[in-house]
Structure 1
């Protein structure tokens, strides 16, 4: 059995199949970890969603911001609707089954045996892994519970920027959502700098990538993430970034996790379906 993690797919179905063929992925034996953003902007989001759903327990995917956007759009939240190409999913005969499955995916996956944690975007420096798992679980319970529609209708927004355990209600849930699915840079005090979307070095003075914050409490944890296509494949101390911009003409990247002492990227060059530019 092999365990592979793959970067943001965003509807790049053909590239996914080609990469899985290259790594000789066997769906009867191997496991696939997806860092989120299965859908949106690419050409075949419905096919990707059906494929990963069809892998059953052989696939683990965490929710990304575009996956949450699909869920929000399905509930009538039209904010950012013009930036989407998700109508095929919303009109599909198996729409309800797929959206129910997606809504029950985790925000954070931790495998104690492998010693890896997977998220979509980032972790605020003030959170320990234990706390991050707790907060992710809080949001998961809301998404899987009877109040999920109310949350999805109020999900968008950049505030609050600073974490305190005293946060409650939608402000608490929105901060957790933004950290796990949108974070790239932090302010010096650990606040979320959500307006920054470029590569490291393009940010305002004092801001740092979340994984380079000097006081980050998860610096000894092995973390896999996506979301940040402008940095490409990243391998720093205990951190692996897998979004290498397949959608934008970069590459689709996979790594094998069951041999952590010999992690090397396996990459498939992509033609690209969108012109690079500012994107959430």
Structure 2
């Protein structure tokens, strides 16, 4: 069995199949770790979601901001945005099953044997791996519960911009979600700056990419979300896999044990 991780697919179903063929991927033999943003902006969100859902336990998935946005529309009463391309999911006869499956996915996956964590945007230096997993599980349980409508109704927003254990309810859920799914630049105290989306050299004053702050552990972190990085973090332990497929870049897949990367141009 081989475990592969893949960056943001965003509904680029044909490119997904192409890159899987390049590694001779078989769900009966291998596992695919998906770093979030399975859907949206690309042309085939429904096909992509169905394909990964049908992999069963051969797919290890963390939720990205676009996946949560779909759930916010489906559950939280929000309206789709002009650039959204997931109407096919909302109109599909298996809509309820797909939405329920998406709700069961995680925000953070910790592989202790590999000393590796996967989260869509990464993990801030202010959290240990144990704390990150605990906070992820806390929000995951809300998404799967009867509180899901409340969560998605109040999910959007940039405040609070910094984690505090004193936070409760919607504010607590929101900031945890923002770290896992929207984070790029933060400051030394962990405060989020969520308006800047370009490369590392565009950090606002007082902020830096989250992976440039020292951590007390040596865990490897696999993430997506930040297409402007083009997969380059400058540090082997921080592995960016979003190489901008939906923006005309590439879709990247990596062998989790060897570190070998393959891609298909988009």
RMSD value over aligned CA atoms? 1.2
> Could you give the per-residue CA deviations for residues 72-122 of structure 1, whole angstroms, max 9, x where no partner exists?
011253356223121110000000000000011010011112221100002
Instruction: Tell me which of 223, 226, 229 is aligned to 1:225.
Output: 223
TM (norm. structure 1) is 0.92
State the distance in 1 between where 2:189 and 2:97 align.
42
Q: Could you say which residue in structure 2 is the equivalent of 1:16?
A: 16
Separation in structure 1 between the aligned mates of residue 110 and residue 5 of structure 2, nearest angstrom:
13
Determine the structure 1 residue equivalent to 2:248. Answer: 249
CA shift for structure 1 position 11:
0.2
Runs of 4+ in 1 over 6 A off after TM superposition: none
Q: CA deviation at 1:164?
A: 1.1
- Tell me the distance in 2 between the aligned counterparts of 1:82 and 1:138: 32
Question: Aligned partners of 1:206, 1:53: CA distance in 2, in Å?
Answer: 41
The answer on whether the counterparts of 1:224 and 1:239 sit within 8 Å (CA) in structure 2 is: yes
SS at match of 1:110: strand
CA contact (8 A) 1:35 1:226 kept: yes
* Matches of 1:244 and 1:222, distance apart in 2: 19
Q: Distance in 2 between matches of 1:49 and 1:90?
A: 12
> What is the distance in 2 between the residues matched to 1:27 and 1:151?
33
Corresponding position of 1:2: 2
Partner Cα separation in structure 2 for residue 113 and residue 86 of structure 1: 36
Determine the C-alpha separation between the residues in 1 that align with 2:120 and 2:99: 18
Q: Give the equivalent residue in structure 2 for 1:267.
A: 263
Decide whether the 8 Å contact of 1:155 with 1:174 is kept in 2.
yes
CA distance in 1 between partners of 2:146 and 2:208 (Å): 38
| Whole-Å separation in 1 of the counterparts to 2:262 and 2:86 | 29
Aligned residue in 1 for 2:50: 50
Distance, in Å, in 1 between the alignment partners of 2:88 and 2:165 is 40
1:169 aligns with 2:169: yes
Map of 1:278 onto structure 2? none
Distance 2:109 2:226 in 1: 19
Gaps of 5+ in 1: 271-280
Q: 1:80 and 1:124, CA in 2 relative to 1: closer, same or farther beyond 3 A?
A: farther
Tell me which residue corresponds to 2:75.
75
1:217 to 1:191, Cα distance in 2 relative to 1, 3 A: farther
DSSP 3-state at the match of 2:221: strand
